[in-house]
Chain A
Amino acid sequence: AAGVIQSPRHLIKEKRETATLKCYPIPRHDTVYWYQQGPGQDPQFLISFYEKMQSDKGSIPDRFSAQQFSDYHSELNMSSLELGDSALYFCASSLGISVLDTQYFGPGTRLTVL
């Protein structure tokens, strides 16, 4: 079965650079979530989209922005990167926005900021 696809899997950037992470949800899923997991930490919710509209916002820095496109894929844009942004970024998708809908996680993008 198709799963959530994230690209790239690994990314190395320098401070103050920009990065774009992409997430392709499971086919027919209409909701996308972004999470940030720092080294040895639990994942932190960043932002979510339902039917191409932002549905919820968590601890996403102002330097980050995201959107969901007409084909339901989502992109997380990160600017003015800082060392502390080094983390594993997970995207999850679900069919529907109900709290009972299972979120299926992608493999993550490991971002390293030097």
Chain B
Amino acid sequence: KNQVEQSPQSLIILEGKNCTLQCNYTVSPFSNLRWYKQDTGRGPVSLTIMTFSENTKSNGRYTATLDADTKQSSLHITASQLSDSASYICVVSVRRDSGNTPLVFGKGTRLSVIA
């Protein structure tokens, strides 16, 4: 069964600190992995997308890593800001021969940044 597991479930950090969120997946065959940021009640916003051959990708203060061998990804946030408080969702695409592929979503990590 295609699954995406994220940890921790929730995290509280002080403003200015760094943090790392984890994502493990069993999706096969793998196509790509995305990290989304979702504010409460809002649509998810794409942060990064990585294919099989990529193992690091940055977007501002967000850096995602991917280890396709161990099927693990991480999202590192540096110098956190209060506006980083949100849910961070790991999403994996299943590769198919034709057509677009639906996405398998993790349950997200709820990050709270406090002053």
**Which residue of the partner chain A has the closest CB to B43?**
A105
Instruction: Please indicate which of the listed interface residues B41, B45, B103, B108 has the most CB atoms of chain A within 10 Å of its own CB.
Output: B103
Give a binary string over A70-114; 1 marks a CB under 8 Å from any B CB, 0 the rest.
Answer: 000000000000000000101010000111111111111010000
Residue A8 is within 8 A (CB to CB) of chain B in the complex: no
Q: Name the B residues within 8 Å of A62 (CB-CB).
A: none
Residue A4 is within 8 A (CB to CB) of chain B in the complex: yes
Give a binary string over A38-56; 1 marks a CB under 8 Å from any B CB, 0 the rest.
Answer: 0001111100101000011
Residue A68 is within 8 A (CB to CB) of chain B in the complex: no
Task: Give the complex CA separation of A44 and B2 in angstroms.
Answer: 13
Q: Name the B residues within 8 Å of A45 (CB-CB).
A: 102-103
Q: Name the B residues within 8 Å of A108 (CB-CB).
A: 41-43
Task: Give the complex CA separation of A100 and B34 in angstroms.
Answer: 10
Total residues of chain A contacting the partner, CB 8 A: 29
**Which residue of the partner chain A has the closest CB to B96?**
A99
Residue B105 is within 8 A (CB to CB) of chain A in the complex: yes
Are B100 and A107 within 8 A (Cβ)? no
Residue B11 is within 8 A (CB to CB) of chain A in the complex: no
Task: Give the complex CA separation of A37 and B102 in angstroms.
Answer: 14
**Which residue of the partner chain B has the closest CB to A3?**
B43
Q: Name the B residues within 8 Å of A98 (CB-CB).
A: 100
**Which residue of the partner chain B has the closest CB to A104?**
B46
Q: Name the A residues within 8 Å of B43 (CB-CB).
A: 4, 90, 92, 105-108
Query: Contact partner of A42 among B42, B99, B102, B108, CB < 8 A?
Result: B108
Are A100 and B51 within 8 A (Cβ)? yes
Residues 22 to 44 of chain B near chain A (Cβ within 8 Å): 31-32, 34, 36, 41-44
Residue B76 is within 8 A (CB to CB) of chain A in the complex: no
Distance in angstroms from B60 CB to nearest chain A CB is 16
Task: Give the complex CA separation of A86 and B95 in angstroms.
Answer: 31
Nearest 7 interchain pairs by C-beta: A105-B43, A45-B102, A42-B105, A97-B100, A99-B31, A102-B46, A42-B107
| Chain A positions near chain B (C-beta within 8 angstroms) | 4, 31, 33, 41-45, 48, 50, 55-56, 58, 88, 90, 92, 97-108, 110
